[in-house]
Amino acid sequence: MTLIVDTHTHLDGAEFDEDRDEVMARAKAAGIAKVFLPAIDLRSVDSVLAVSNRYPGYAYPMIGLHPEEVRADWREVLAEMKRRVSSRFIAIGEVGLDYYWSREYEQEQLEAFEEQVRWSVEYRLPLMIHCRKGQQEMVSVLKRYEKDLPGGVFHCFTGNEKEAAQLLQFDKFVLGIGGVLTFKKSHLPEVLPSIPLSRVVLETDAPYMAPVPMRGQRNESAYVVYVLRKMAESYGLPEDDVARATNENVERIFGIHVNNI
């Protein structure tokens, strides 16, 4: 059995407070070797650490300020967050730009993102990047630090071949592929074969965006197996081959080895 990794899951969220142990047990039973937990704000820095402490060697925390959580006080928030950066964290995330709903804090988001990109360089931690309706702005920020960045993941990639190529010019980065791959109207199954298998990782973004056949339900890490299944189908490869390749990508980006059984 080839184990796999859910590289992006919010299992620290209140949505899992009633049955977190069961959710973790289902993930392990489904062959999920490890789960990576992004922070989104100061409170969630505590919650991802708490969950990681409860499931040592299985759940791994990240630290970062999500673009939708950026407000006028972002400098104070990041100053407090930076004081808490330590070797416990496997990445700076979830960070980025999100102009989908509003551009009210457009400049603040840009400055907060760039500050956290600098953390990635300073602490040699990969980035977990969220980007909606801001790819050009995001790319221009990353370009300034391209030579010094240790790498990372462009989380929840749903774009076309041209957008994939623009992101993959950052050669130490990979694309995070989740439940959208399985959606009926998704074009990702046609886009994926143009993306080298060495440049993708698996994710759920639980509790959001559950894959088919679980769409409409609360997402959880066990469901990443449906993403793996569709990814293997898209590449025309056995699931074990895709699992091994994505695990190698996880090890390269995060330095965390996945033992197979």
Question: Per residue of the chain (261 residues), what is the pLDDT tens digit?
Answer: 689 999 999 999 999 999 999 999 999 999 999 999 999 999 999 999 999 999 999 999 999 999 999 999 999 999 999 999 999 999 999 999 999 887 888 899 999 999 999 999 999 999 999 999 999 999 999 999 999 999 999 999 999 999 999 999 999 999 999 999 999 999 999 999 999 999 999 999 999 999 999 999 999 999 999 999 999 999 999 999 999 999 999 999 999 988 754
DSSP readout, 22-80?
HHHHHHHHTTEEEEEE---SHHHHHHHHHHHHHSTTTEEE-B---GGG--TTHHHHHHH
Rounded Cα distance, 233 and 139, in Å: 30
User: Which secondary-structure segment (H or E) carries 147?
Assistant: none
At residue 49, what are phi and psi to the nearest 5 degrees?
-70, -40
Strand order across the beta sheet in which 173-177 lies: 92-98, 127-132, 152-154, 173-177, 200-202
Contact between 38 and 47 under an 8 Å Cβ cutoff? The reply is: no
